[in-house]
Structure 1
Amino acid sequence: MRIFFLYVATAIAEIVGCYLPYLWLRQGRSVALLIPAALSLAAFAWLLTLHPNAAGRVYAAYGGVYICVALIWLWLVEGISPTRWDLAGVTCSLLGMAIIAFQPR
């Protein structure tokens, strides 16, 4: 479970780091949002180094968790409910993530 929560923290850092510039560029918010965005992306890169597996495997497994966290973000932050197709897709991606991340060593 520790690894899964590390993946979640990594995904949140990446999403925040990308969402804040989106707010500046697309919604006319303050350019000052680029400062916490840069810090969040730096945290994202640092969090990736804490994963115990080889980098390529971490990136592959991370993709599944990122999809899940992005859909939760869509729902909680942007106020858009995921569709059943979203839920089916995230289920497939998390299954793939689990196969990659938790394979026998």
Structure 2
Amino acid sequence: MNILRSIAIFILAGLFEIGGGYLVWLWLKEDKPLWYGIAGGIVLALYGVVATWQSAGFGRVYAAYGGFFIIMALIWAWKVDGFKPDKYDIIGAAVAVMGACIIIFMPRGK
């Protein structure tokens, strides 16, 4: 598995999941038009497709994706919502992504 390709897929999947979820959030919580919710649902479905581009099995991909999602969600909250992560947010995200990398990238015996 090409590590850079895999990380790029995790990032793209994260953008689709967070972006789609954000559109649905805006529709339901911020009284945006229905088309926000529809667009969000479509983007969330695309997230499911993008995740299949990983070469590892479903369970391992989704377990590892969680670590990448945590970092991306904090970055999204910081850049889009004005939330400022504190040192514990950063430490927790770093621990999560290290765990994700162990799950997805460590060689395994056959």
Q: TM-score scaled to structure 1, two decimals? A: 0.95
How big is each residue's C-alpha offset from its partner over 1:50-103, in whole Å with a ceiling of 9 and x where there is no partner?
A: 110010000000000000100000111111111111001001001001101111
What is the total number of aligned residue pairs between the two structures? Answer: 105
Pick one of 60, 75, 100 that aligns with 1:97.
Answer: 100
- Give the fraction of aligned pairs with identical amino acids, expressed as a percent: 37
SS at match of 2:9: helix
Matched ranges for 1:11-90 at <5 A: 11-90=14-93
Cα distance between partner residues in 2 of 1:74 and 1:81? 8
Over the aligned positions, Cα root-mean-square deviation in angstroms equals: 0.9
2:6 alignment partner AA: I
CA shift, 1:48, in A, is: 1.2
**How much does 1:35 deviate?**
2.1
Q: Gaps spanning 5+ residues in structure 1: where?
A: none
Query: What stretches of structure 1 move > 6 A for 4+ residues in a row?
Result: none
Counterpart for residue 7 of structure 1: 10
State TM-score, norm by structure 2. Answer: 0.91
Q: CA deviation at 1:27?
A: 1.0
